[in-house]
Every structure is written in C-alpha cells, then in structure tokens.
Chain A
Amino acid sequence: MAGPSHRLLIAGYLAPALLLLAVFVVAPVLGAIGLSLTNETLTGPDALAPRFVGLTNYGRLLADSEFYASFLRSGAFVFFSALVGQFVLGLLAALLLARPLLRGKGLFGGAILLPLVVPETVASLAWASMLAPAEFGTVNRMIGGAGFAPIAWLQAYPLQSIIVINIWRGIAFAMILFQAALEGIPRELAEAAQVDGASAWQQLRLITLPLLRGAIVLYMLLTTIATFGVFGLIYFLTQGGPGKATSVMSIYIYNHAFNFFEIGLGSAASVMMLAVVLVIGLVYVRLLRAEI
C-alpha cells in the first residue's frame, strides 16, 4: 500500500530522472520562452543590449506567410513519411517477419535495420550521391537503363525525395516496435480465428490491429515528435530549397536563429512548434484512450 515510506521510495527512484529532465529539458524550454519575449540577436546593436519586446516575435510569426507554409510542409512531411510510409511499411515488415515459416528472415530484418544504423550525415551524403542530377547518379542510372532521361530529383521533386528518404530511414524503428508488440499477442487467438474460418485480412483487422493499438499510439506519438524535429537529413540534402520547397519548421527555426541570428524570433518559432506538437501528442493520448 502507498504509505509515506512507499511514496518516499518512489520519489527517490524518480528523482534522478526528474532532475535530468528539469536541467536538460524544462530549463532550456523556459529559457527559450524567455528569449522569445526579447529582441535578442547575435549581431548588431541588439546583441549588445537586447530588450524585452513582449509578444512582438509571436506577432511577426503569425503575420509571416512563410511560417504557415513551413508548418504545412512539416505536416506533410510528418504525415506522408512517418504516419503513412514508415507506419505501413514498418507494420508490413513486422507482420512478414512474424510469419513462422518464412525463410531468410534474418537477412530481411537486417536489411531493413541498416538505414537506422547508418549515421544521419552518411545517409544524407549517400542519398545525395544516389539522387545526383547527372547521368552518373545511381537512381538516374537505373531509370536510364529503362530509357528515361536523367532527373534532378532533389530539385524537381524535393519534398517527395526527402519523404522517401525519411521513410527508408524510419521503417526499422516501426518494424522493431511492432515486431515486439506482435510477439505479445497470444498465438491461440490467431489459431482460434483460423478454426472459425476468419480470412487473413479479417484476422489482421479484427484481432491483430486492435491488440496492437497501444503500440500504434506509442509509435505515432514518438514518430510524430521525432519527425517534426528532423533537421540534419534535410539540411544536408537541400538546405530547405530549392526555393523554400523543403523548408520545414526545423529549417525555418535554424535559418532565423543561426543564419539571420534572430535568436528571439527563432525561440518564438520553437515555442510555437513545441505547443503544436504538444497538442498533437495529447490528442493521440486522449482520443485513442490508449494506455502507455
């Protein structure tokens, strides 16, 4: 029972984690909120004497059409690469690996895991080479074999390209998570359904997916947060271009904070992104009523 000593014990166990969260998460967030209320810059006279400007930075963001456009691009990037691509392909891969008589499972699983092991920079450079615009780019060589002219992928299809690359990179995480969840589903349920004449699709829809609900919600939560924050992959490949075609929120924030050196405005954009993603996260938890 939860007596005083028991509560003290719980507090003792939680204390290190809470302390780390306070120092490395909560304090920087509070710092960012504080900076967002100033005109802090890194160059010029405002760097020498930053002033409190209230909600001016938020007003500027709300009046900036590019801010909304960046949010929409982030939304599209998250939806198509994480919620659709990684989720569907990761789940398919996990279901395939869960089949008992499948041969070459180790090789298949290993191949899917590889992109997760490769450092982000290396992955970006590898894809930059694969998508190189001239005929020597790997993808252009492949389509060249079929008689197609070379395509400058990162310029003709920039957002689509980084979505595909992010899917490639993120399938492994979804697969691992769903594979672990599938192993927790008793085989007897599937066998009983087979005896009752349920088709494979019915088993998936009526038994497997409902039992995976908790894992799916957890995956959606984690991947939404992580994908909103993707920066290195996009920066290395397109730097947000061409034009602003791949300027998602993380790039928008980076440009304002570290290219324009407008730390106040960049912080305000970070805080707004935090708020939006926080709301999305809470909606996941609340609407699906999942237990994590």
Chain B
Amino acid sequence: MRASKRWLAMALTTGLVAGACSSGASPTPNSAASQGAASAPATASAASAPVTLTLLEHQQLRADVLKKLLPQFEAAMAAQGKNIKVNLVLDILPDAQFQTKLTLDYSAGNAADVTSDVGGVVPGFAAAGYLLDLTSRVTAWPDWQHFYQVIRNQTTQADGKIYSLPRGANTMELFYRTDVLQKYGISTAQPTSWADLISRMVALKAKMGTPPILYPAGTAWGGGSMDEGFLHVFLGTGGQLYDNATGKWVVKSTALTDAFGFYATLTNDGLLPVQALQNPNPWQPTKYVAFPAGTLAVTTQGTWGWTYDWGPTGSAPIPNLFSKVATWEFPAQSGSPFVSVPVDWMWMISAKTQHPDEAFALAQWLDTGQALANDIVAVGNASPRDDIQNIAPYSQDQYLIDAEKQLSTGKTFLPQVGYDKIQQAVGQATEDIISGTMTGAQAAAEFTKMATDLLGADKVEQQ
C-alpha cells in the first residue's frame, strides 16, 4: 500500500512538473487573424466569383487609413467586374510581439492572406516557404519601373526572386533639437566624424547634465537596436556585414569591433541614457519623453518621426516641430556623412492563400497613386516610387518628398536570411555594453560567439 502511494506521488509529481515545463515549447497560435484566414473560402477564385481576403494589421494609425482605403479597393474591383471583399483583421500589438505572432501564424499555416511588417523579416519568411513568389507578377507590372532602384533591390532576395512589395520608404538620420543645442552654445553644423560628434556630445553633456544622445541599443529595443541604431554606426565604418561572394555573414572584423567600440565610448562618457535603454519599453522614456522635453538632444530617427512620433497626431507631439527639430546625416567613422536608407515595411502574401491573384491585386492597388499617398502619409513615410509627388496628401508634406529625393543617394544594407539572428546578437552585445559588463572589444567577441551559435558555423566567416 505504501509503495503504491509512493508511485502515485511520483506520478503526480511527474504530471505536475510536465505540465509546468512543457508549455514553453509548443506554439499554439489562436488568433483572430488565424480564425479569419481559416474561414476564407477554399474555392479557387474565378473572375466574378465572390472572394474574401483577410488583411492583418497591427498598428492603429495604419489600420485607421486602411479602414478608409479598403472600401475604395472593393469598389475599384467591382468596377472591373471582380467581387472581392477584404476582411481587415486588427491585432494591435507592439512590433516585437507582432513578429512573434506573425511567425507563429505562418508556421502554423494559417496566416492572413495579406499582411505587412518590417522588411527585415522577408528573407527568413521567404526561405521558410511562407511567402508567395511574386516575381512574375511584379516584373510584368509596368508600374514596377517607377519604384526606385534601391527599393527594387531591397525587395529582391538572394535567390533572385521577389516575395514582397514595398509599403513605403524612409531615410534615417540623426534628429536633433536645434533649440537645445543653441541654448547651450553647441554647433548645429553637420558633424563630420564620430570623433566630432562625440566631442560635441561631451560638451553638451557637461552643460545639460543628462545623457544627450540616443542610439538604440540593448535587448529591450528588439530588432530596433540593429535597425535604428547599430546598423547606422556600422555603415559608417565602411565594413562588410554580409559577404555576397560567399553567402556568409561576417561576424568578426575590425569594422565590427570599431562599431561596438563606438557604443562603448558613448556609454563610458555617459552620453547614452543607459538606464532608460534598459527599460522594458525603452522608446518611452527616450523618444516619447526626454526628446520632446528637450532633456535628450539628439537621436537616431527615421522619416516617420515627423509624423508617427512627434507630429500633431503622433505619440508624443512636439509643438512647432519644424522650428525645434532638424537633422544631421549620420557621421561616418572618418569620411563622408551619409543618409541611411533602411528596408522599410513590406506587403507580404501568404504562400497558402487561396486567392493569390486577388491578394496581389490588393497589394498592387495599395501601392498605387492615391491609396499609396494616403497610406504613407498616415505614418510619415516617403514614397517608394517616383510618380506620386503631385498626389495629395503626399504632395503637401514637403519633408517626405525631400526624404524621397535622398533614396537614391543613401547607404543601404540588404537583409539576408539570418538577419533576425544578427539582430538578436547585436541586441545582446550592445546590452552587455550599456549594462557596463563588457568593453567594446568584449562585446564584439560576444557578438561573434552568439551570431555563430545562432546562425551555425557554416553560415558565418571572420575577416
């Protein structure tokens, strides 16, 4: 009897422990988007047969404009004799959580027909077979030639195919508070090098008393530590992060060590708001509080900052924005300053969509004329194509048109398969710097180790 009780106790223990431990490993997507996609008609589309597409959106500003545009798309299709309805599925989430959800949706095979996200996810999704190959459709589209070459390059993956359409474009620079710099007598002229920038920030820190500059860093900022921070430092070294000749990531180089060293210098000199960067939502105390308040003077920022962040309807409006904020190009390590042209959001179509032609027609329509003008203005993006500068409301936002003019001359980096792993490794290495546990050289070594672990030794090289 006693033995049987002991066995019962052991069985109970096993069951309880198993229940507690197994939950972390089993993805169980159960989202509105999934349900929406599952409920889409499974019949093959015909010219006049009713078709319902699902479109998943996770940002409120973008959703608001889609609510206005989608009925227009349906009407336009109806005029062509096509009965297409679009079910807009809203799942308002922070970007990082949305990417997890979207990845699980794709993995489970029940993603929405059409969705959009940062372009950095496209290589990994395409290689996983999640996305519809759009190559023949896109290259047969006459309008494609109106998209800037840099944008067309960004949509073309390593296998030469196209799996996405651009949803917008943007440039990234250093945004600075002119009023703050002038108040403290700091030059607002374009910094010519890292050393120039750092010396000015040291002087500003001495007068302001608070960390004056923000380059996103650490794990809490997610992929933004790479996309909005480290990448623009690294591009200033002239180094190579991906070796196109070998198809491998470069995980160790002098340029990488120098880039991490730049972060270490900013940290050691007290120029970075390291405490705020370790906040779970680090953009809140920095871009949404300190910069509008003028206690943070300089930050990396994309075109969307004029609208999405600090515009009158943005997250943290700055009154008289254009008189208080101006931009510098990113200073290089030594040499010419430059504007970054990061890969912006992309429209993606699920490889499992039952309606590929209709889904492509939707993405195509959203990338055309009035619809595109409305969509990009809502969040403060530049146009990825050269023929809508006269279409309102885009035509009324000169700063966006100015940004568009920089697309062809800026520096860009084309994400490849494994970019998400590089983002993770950069996040961790910069976290080690801002938390004071590593020097720049140690962080570079940590990056090498982590990137190699994540990507696999056969996918990396050292220079």
Contact = CB atoms under 8 A, between A and B. Distances in A.
A69 to B, nearest CB: 12
Chain B interface, DSSP helix/strand/loop, else mixed: helix
Interface stretch (B11-19, B178-186, B341-349): B11-19
A261 B23 contact: no
Interface of B: 5-6, 8-10, 12-27, 96, 100, 103-104, 106-107, 121, 124-125, 127-130, 218-220, 275, 278-280, 417-418, 420-421, 424, 431-432, 435, 437, 453-454
Nearest to A17: B15
B278 A28 contact: no
B280 A238 contact: yes
A267 B100 contact: no
A21 interface: yes
A155 B435 CA distance: 10
B107 A47 contact: yes
Contact of A155 (B8, B107, B275): B275
A45 interface: yes
Given A278-B14, A281-B16, A285-B10, A42 B21 contact: no
A263 B14 CA distance: 23
A200 interface: no
Interface string A227-248: 0110100001111111111000
Given A43-B125, A241-B431, A26 B10 contact: no
A47 B397 CA distance: 42
A239 B27 contact: no
Given A128-B280, A273-B21, 15 more contacts: A25-B15, A28-B18, A28-B26, A31-B26, A44-B128, A45-B417, A133-B275, A155-B275, A229-B20, A244-B431, A253-B24, A260-B420, A266-B24, A274-B22, A292-B12
A267 B220 contact: no
Contact of A257 (B25, B127, B129, B417): B25
B100 A277 contact: no
B103 A42 contact: yes
A262 B454 contact: yes
Contacts of A241: 218-220, 278, 280, 431, 435
A273 B24 CA distance: 11
B128 A260 contact: no
Nearest to A128: B280
B15 A291 contact: no
Contact of A277 (B15, B17, B125, B218): B17
Contacts of B420: 43, 260-261
B127 A43 contact: yes
Interface in A109-155: 128, 133, 152, 155
Contacts of B15: 21, 25
Interface string A267-291: 1011101100110011011000001
Interface stretch (A88-96, A180-188, A218-226): A218-226
Given A270-B21, A291-B5, A243 B103 contact: no
Interface of A: 21, 24-26, 28-29, 31-32, 35-36, 42-45, 47-48, 60, 64, 128, 133, 152, 155, 221-222, 225-226, 228-229, 231, 236-245, 250, 253-254, 257-263, 266-267, 269-271, 273-274, 277-278, 281-282, 284-285, 291-292
B16 A222 contact: yes
Contacts of B424: 259-260
Which one of B10, B17, B23, B103 has the highest number of Cβ atoms from chain A below 10 Å of its Cβ? B17
A32 B27 CA distance: 11
A213 B246 CA distance: 65
A268 to B, nearest CB: 9
Contacts of B432: 243
B417 A44 contact: yes
Contact of B129 (A47, A229, A243): A47
Which one of B25, B26, B280, B420 has the highest number of Cβ atoms from chain A below 10 Å of its Cβ? B25
Chain A interface, DSSP helix/strand/loop, else mixed: helix
A271 B25 CA distance: 9
Give the 3 A-B residue pairs with the shortest CB-CB distance, closest first: A43-B124, A242-B278, A47-B128
7 contacts: A48-B127, A48-B128, A238-B280, A277-B21, A278-B13, A278-B18, A292-B12
A269 B21 CA distance: 10
B160 to A, nearest CB: 16
A280 B454 CA distance: 31
B20 A281 contact: no
Contacts of A263: 25, 27
Contact of A274 (B17, B27, B128): B17
Contacts of B279: 133, 155
A25 B18 contact: yes
B24 A29 contact: no
Given A155-B275, A239-B280, A241-B220, A281 B25 contact: no
A32 B24 CA distance: 9
Nearest to A133: B275
A256 B6 CA distance: 36
Contacts of B8: 292
Nearest to A231: B24
Contacts of A273: 21
A270 B25 contact: yes
B226 to A, nearest CB: 13
A45 B127 contact: yes
A88 to B, nearest CB: 23
A25 B22 contact: yes
Which one of B26, B124, B125, B421 has the highest number of Cβ atoms from chain A below 10 Å of its Cβ? B26
B25 A155 contact: no
A129 to B, nearest CB: 13
A9 B340 CA distance: 73
Nearest to A124: B280
Contacts of A25: 15, 18-19, 22
A277 B20 contact: yes
A254 B23 CA distance: 10
Contacts of A244: 431
B279 to A, nearest CB: 8
A289 B12 CA distance: 15
Nearest to A262: B454
Contact of A226 (B20, B280, B421): B20
Nearest to B14: A278
A262 B431 CA distance: 21
A285 B280 contact: no
A24 B421 CA distance: 32
Given A32-B25, A225-B20, A258 B128 contact: no
Given A258-B100, A261-B103, A32 B26 contact: yes
B424 to A, nearest CB: 6
A263 B108 CA distance: 13
Nearest to B100: A258
A118 to B, nearest CB: 19
B6 A250 contact: no
